[in-house]
Amino acid sequence: MITIKGPAIFLAQFLGDKPPFNSLASICKWAAGLGFLGVQLPTSDPSIIDLEKAAESKTYADEVKGIVENAGLKITELSTHLQGQLVAVHPAYDTLFDSFAPEAVRGNSKARTEWAVQQLKYAAKASANLGLNAHATFSGALLWPNMYPWPQRPAGLVETGFKELAARWLPILDEFDRNGVDLCYEIHPGEDLHDGISYEMFLEHTNNHSRACLLYDPSHFVLQCLNYLEYIDNYHERIRMFHVKDAEFNPTGKQGVYGGYQSWINRAGRFRSLGDGQVDFKSVFSKMAQYDFKGWAVLEWEDCLKHPEDGAREGAAFIKNHIIRVTEKAFDDFAATTGNDEKFNRTVLGLH
Dump the DSSP string for 30-58.
Answer: HHHHTT--EEEEESS-TTT--HHHHHH-H
Q: Please, what is the angle between helix 228-235 and helix 196-205, to 10°?
A: 20
d(CA 344, CA 352): 10
Dump the DSSP string for 197-262.
Answer: HHHHHHHHHTTT-TTEEEEE-HHHHHTTT--HHHHHHHHTTTEEEEEE-EEEE---SS--TTGGG-
pLDDT at site 338 = 66
Q: Write out the chain's pLDDT in tens, 352 residues.
A: 899 999 999 999 999 999 999 999 999 999 999 999 999 999 999 989 999 999 999 999 999 999 999 999 999 999 999 999 999 999 999 999 999 999 999 999 999 999 999 999 999 999 999 999 999 999 999 999 999 999 999 999 999 999 999 999 999 999 999 999 999 999 999 999 999 999 999 999 999 999 999 999 999 999 999 999 999 999 999 999 999 999 999 999 999 999 999 999 999 999 999 999 999 999 999 999 999 999 999 999 999 999 999 999 999 999 999 999 998 887 777 667 766 788 888 888 999 7
Q: Own/partner pairs for 336-344, CB < 8 Å, 24+ apart? A: none
pLDDT at site 328 = 83
pLDDT at site 334 = 67
246-249 and 269-272 as β-strands: parallel, antiparallel, unpaired? antiparallel
d(CA 145, CA 316): 37
Q: At residue 36, what is the residue type?
A: F
First CA to last CA distance, the chain = 36
**Neighbour tally for 65: CB within 10 Å:** 18
Record the pTM.
0.95
Evaluate the CA torsion angle 99, 304, 13, 257 in order and state its sign. Answer: negative
Q: Hey, where are the domains in the chain?
A: 5-348
Q: What are phi and psi of 175, to 5 degrees?
A: -65, -40
d(CA 79, CA 85): 12
CATH topology of domain 5-348: TIM Barrel (3.20.20)
**Considering only CA atoms, which of 33, 49, 140, 39 is closest in space to residue 90?**
140
d(CA 266, CA 242): 27
pLDDT at site 307 = 97
Burial class (CB in 10 A: 0-12, 13-18, 19+), 95: exposed
pLDDT at site 335 = 66
